[in-house]
Amino acid sequence: MKMLDYVVMANSRLRENLARAVELTDPLVKAFTASASATVRIVASGSSRHSADCARDYMQDILGMQVAVVTPEAFIDREHVFPRDAFTMVISQSGFSTNSIAALDFIRGGGCGEGVQSVAITGNPSAPIRDHADVVVDYGVGVESVDFVTMGVQTLVEFLMLFALYASHATGRISGERVDRELRCFESAFDAHAAALRACEEWMDEEKLTLSRRVPACVVGNGPNYGVAEEGALKLNECIKIAAMHSEGEEFVHGPQMQLTPDSLLFMLDDPRGSERLANLHAQFRTVTKGAFFITAHPRGIEGELAIPAPTNPLMCAIPNLVAFQYLAAQKTEELERWEMHPYVRALRDTIGTKADGYEDSIHALEERAKDQYGQ
């Protein structure tokens, strides 16, 4: 199985997980309701944190409460103090991330107060993370054997949103009718995701040479699309091996835009409900570089647009919009043969120590499971 296979397969997994949403979210909903907390804190790093940032606005809207997203380091150092008495969940998709394990140990050691449960969300409940958490929740990604997660990102965004939906209902904040409406919105998000797959395939063909530039890139987005920008920049960095930064819209035009040249790559994500400001900025930057692209659900017929449909609930826009960067990373890394990192960096992998012992063996085991399950 290749990375692009998982990019495409995510649509089926999203729909499968929606069909068993109650079962998937029930352990986390029960832990949340038992906590009687009025805020939520998500502790995560890398793609897991980006997924949380993609889901955060929807979660806050549906729960009617603050949802904070912090890294494990910041959590242990200072961000465990505020918000006070938050329901805290720690995410590690692999279940091997040493910084997430450290955050769980901090909670177990009384860092958030005596008697507070350590709650872990993972795609691999048999991983070492299980020994550091009181509650371990499998968010339902299934088998994804490529280290650069794609299907895992979308399914985690979906899971966090579904958790918020059912937790809000369980605590009496929303009605059953609202739940039913939101579930239909998820269906529209998956339809948009399928449309995005088709649009990105055409986009990659049309812009093949421009998108193959080995130059620094900027990825810009607001709200849920800020999480998309974070994940997009990461995929450009770790897969295609080009330097990439992420930014909010106005932060970008307060300095980072000064680096643009006619050779640059720039990806701007329109706001969920559309932004004339961002559209105008894109049109101006397009006069600097033909490598400027505008990802939007509100096409205006300007050059460089990639039209991806909007879900019924605009706060779910990250689910289809992530496809652009996942598709780009998967296809270009393969075409340009960029999978291998520099030997000096590769030599450091074991000494850097971001994963618990057994991680490489777990990847090999996933590859064998993928062959059995998917026949490839």
- Kindly state the tokens that stand for 108: 């177990």
Contacts of 82 (CB under 8 A, 6+ apart): none
> What kind and span of H or E run contains 213?
none
Calpha distance 281→228 (Å, rounded): 19
Neighbours of 255 (CB within 10 A): 9
pLDDT of residue 347: 79
Contact 241, 341 (CB under 8 A): yes
Residue ranges of the chain with per-residue pLDDT less than 50: 366-372
* pLDDT tens profile 125-137: 988 999 999 999 9
pLDDT of residue 309: 95
* pLDDT tens profile 3-27: 888 899 999 999 999 999 999 999 9
pLDDT of residue 147: 64
pLDDT of residue 84: 87
Q: Do domains 3-174 and 196-335 have the same CATH topology?
A: yes
3-state secondary structure of 183: helix
Contact 151, 144 (CB under 8 A): yes
pTM as predicted: 0.92
Calpha distance 95→144 (Å, rounded): 13
- Kindly state the tokens that stand for 46: 């890398």
Contacts of 376 (CB under 8 A, 6+ apart): 1, 5, 370
CA dihedral 62, 68, 70, 75 (to 10 degrees): -130
Domain boundaries, the chain: 3-174, 196-335
3-state secondary structure of 47: helix
- Please list the alpha-helical segments (H only) found in the chain: 3-19, 21-35, 46-63, 72-74, 98-108, 151-170, 176-206, 224-235, 249-252, 276-285, 318-335, 343-346, 349-352, 359-374
Specify which residues 247 forms β-bridges with.
220
3-state secondary structure 118-174: CEEEECCCCCHHHHHCCEEEECCCCCCCCCCCCHHHHHHHHHHHHHHHHHHHHCCCC
Calpha distance 330→309 (Å, rounded): 21
Kindly tell me the burial class for residue 226, based on how many C-beta atoms sit within 10 Å of its own C-beta (0-12, 13-18, 19 or more).
Answer: buried
Q: Which CATH number fits domain 3-174: 3.40.50.1580, 3.20.20.70, 3.40.50.10490, 3.40.50.720?
A: 3.40.50.10490
Kindly tell me the burial class for residue 216, based on how many C-beta atoms sit within 10 Å of its own C-beta (0-12, 13-18, 19 or more).
Answer: middle
pLDDT of residue 340: 85
15, 229, 237, 294, 325 from 333: Cα distances, Å? 28, 19, 11, 22, 12
Calpha distance 208→112 (Å, rounded): 50
The architecture (CATH level 2) of 196-335 comes to: 3-Layer(aba) Sandwich (3.40)
pLDDT of residue 358: 62
pLDDT of residue 120: 96
3-state secondary structure of 288: coil
